[in-house]
Amino acid sequence: MSQPPERGRGAATVAFEHVSKRYGVGRDGRGAVNDLSLLVPAGRICVLVGPSGCGKTTSLKMVNRLIEPSAGRILIDGADVAGEEPIALRRRIGYVIQQVGLFPHQTVGQNVATVPRLLDWAEDRQRARTDALLTLVGLEPATHRERYPHQLSGGERQRVGVARALAADPPVMLMDEPFGAVDPIVRERLQNEFLRLQADLAKTIIFVTHDVDEAIKMGDLVAVMQDGGTLAQFGSPREILANPASDFVARFVGADRGLKRLSLTRVRDVQLRAAATVRAGDEVAEARRRAAADRFGYLLLIDAADHPIGWIEGRDLPAAGHVEAAMAVPMSPFLEPETTLKDALSMLLGADVRAGVAVDAGGRLLGLLTVDDIAGGLEAR
């Protein structure tokens, strides 16, 4: 067994000071970023969000000097990045992009070990680190290490991309629409996994997206940018939803701002309902009694390790005998502790069910969350 990855060697603050980027020369120069100033405290996720062409990706790329600013400074822990050799700087900054950009001719293991290899780590240290990171992002090293990127699913590729960015334990990570290329259900899961990782790693992360919901969910801080590369508002998701600084911000976060506030609350923050559960092998008579006591008349079949298997409707139970796994109907996507109530609501409405099953990171039952619970909370807020 490989040891868990080293804990973050402390994140770094990232500061933009009056940063501008113009393309072209003189007065005709097109402004891509205009006088951007931001302070991202160590260990926080700052999301840059805005319509396309607002300069968010340009801003991101100036941090690791893929693009050089026309004016202003970017400081990492107080040191101007312009004073550092770009190649050394980039090896200390993790980088994840939407298209992932895995090297197609290298195995998953070689991809993850990219920066350690560039830093000339010893082979066995590279290997141990690679395995630990694959485990961290939920990929079994033995089965994935020797595969090539084209042999992975989109979600697996994204996980490898995150593992690769974390390989040399960088204090700062840049993520440009990292979950943009996968379907909504996989995206929701990757977001949750990433938030769980970040809770342990506490990296300083600059995260670009055009999706307001993702910004609100992922960001400790959100910077809303608008055309011409100006900063429209910078603050916590709660502040931005409660007090949009301008008409632009109000329009951008959307008329459903009230509904979006559901994104500020996660499944782990609310009181879940206990489910009426049953296990295979239980007496039918007992199961009937429990179903009768349940509000909806449904039983949740769980296995010996508390993993939910499916629903059994009380009146479908046979007259006598024992409960069998085959009686259960498989269920809709699970809710995770990191799932926002907004996502939970849309998942429940999408699956046309009244109650969602919440599970922990190990897939064990936590409880039930109903549409009514979510709606009730909305009124209370």
Q: Tell me the window of 6-14, 50-58, 148-156, 257-265 that interacts with another protein (CB under 8 A).
A: 148-156
Residue 147 as a binder of another protein (CB under 8 A): the answer is: yes
Residue 37 as a binder of another protein (CB under 8 A): the answer is: no
Q: Which of 242, 193, 180 is nearest to 49 (CA)?
A: 180
Q: Tell me the window of 47-55, 114-122, 184-192, 343-351 that interacts with another protein (CB under 8 A).
A: 114-122
Q: Which of 275, 276, 293, 283 is nearest to 318 (CA)?
A: 283
Which one among 22, 91, 144, 260 touches another protein, defined by CB under 8 A? 91
How far apart, in whole angstroms, are the C-alpha atoms of residue 371 and residue 54?
Answer: 36
- 45: which strand partners? 205
For 75-81, the CB contacts below 8 A with 24+ separation are 75/13, 75/14, 75/15, 75/17, 76/12, 76/13, 76/14, 76/171, 76/172, 77/12, 77/13, 77/42, 77/171, 78/13, 78/15
- Residue closer to another protein, measured from CB, 64 or 192: 64
- Residue closer to another protein, measured from CB, 115 or 309: 115
204-209 and 221-226: which strand pairing? unpaired
Secondary structure letter of residue 340 according to DSSP = B
Q: Which of 15, 50, 2, 46 is nearest to 246 (CA)?
A: 50
**368-371-375 Cα angle (round to 5):** 125
How far apart, in whole angstroms, are the C-alpha atoms of residue 5 and residue 159?
Answer: 15
Q: How far is the CB of 137 from another protein (least distance, A)?
A: 17
Residue 138 as a binder of another protein (CB under 8 A): the answer is: no
Residue 114 as a binder of another protein (CB under 8 A): the answer is: yes
Sign of CA dihedral 82, 85, 86, 91: negative
Q: How far is the CB of 104 from another protein (least distance, A)?
A: 6
Q: Which of residues 168-187 bind another protein (CB under 8 A)?
A: 174
How far apart, in whole angstroms, are the C-alpha atoms of residue 46 and residue 207?
Answer: 6
Residue 103 as a binder of another protein (CB under 8 A): the answer is: yes
| Token pair recorded at residue 53 | 């062409």
Residue 25 as a binder of another protein (CB under 8 A): the answer is: no
- Residue closer to another protein, measured from CB, 89 or 272: 89
45-49 and 71-76: which strand pairing? unpaired
How far apart, in whole angstroms, are the C-alpha atoms of residue 221 and residue 228?
Answer: 21
Residue 159 as a binder of another protein (CB under 8 A): the answer is: no
Which one among 95, 179, 194, 234 touches another protein, defined by CB under 8 A? 95
Q: Tell me the window of 96-104, 225-233, 298-306, 367-375 that interacts with another protein (CB under 8 A).
A: 96-104
Q: Which of residues 71-90 bind another protein (CB under 8 A)?
A: 87-90
For the chain, what's the residue count?
381
Which one among 1, 122, 150, 183 touches another protein, defined by CB under 8 A? 150
Q: How far is the CB of 356 from another protein (least distance, A)?
A: 30
Residue 121 as a binder of another protein (CB under 8 A): the answer is: no
- 369: which strand partners? 356
- Which H or E run includes 288? helix 284-293
Residue 102 as a binder of another protein (CB under 8 A): the answer is: yes
Which one among 148, 195, 202, 227 touches another protein, defined by CB under 8 A? 148
- Residue closer to another protein, measured from CB, 76 or 89: 89
Which one among 30, 71, 79, 153 touches another protein, defined by CB under 8 A? 153
Residue 164 as a binder of another protein (CB under 8 A): the answer is: yes
x-or-dash string of contact with another protein, 43-72, rule CB under 8 A: ---------------------x-x------
Q: Which of residues 217-246 bind another protein (CB under 8 A)?
A: none
Name the site residues for another protein (rule: CB under 8 A). Answer: 64, 66, 87-91, 95, 97, 99-107, 114-115, 118, 147-148, 150-153, 164, 174
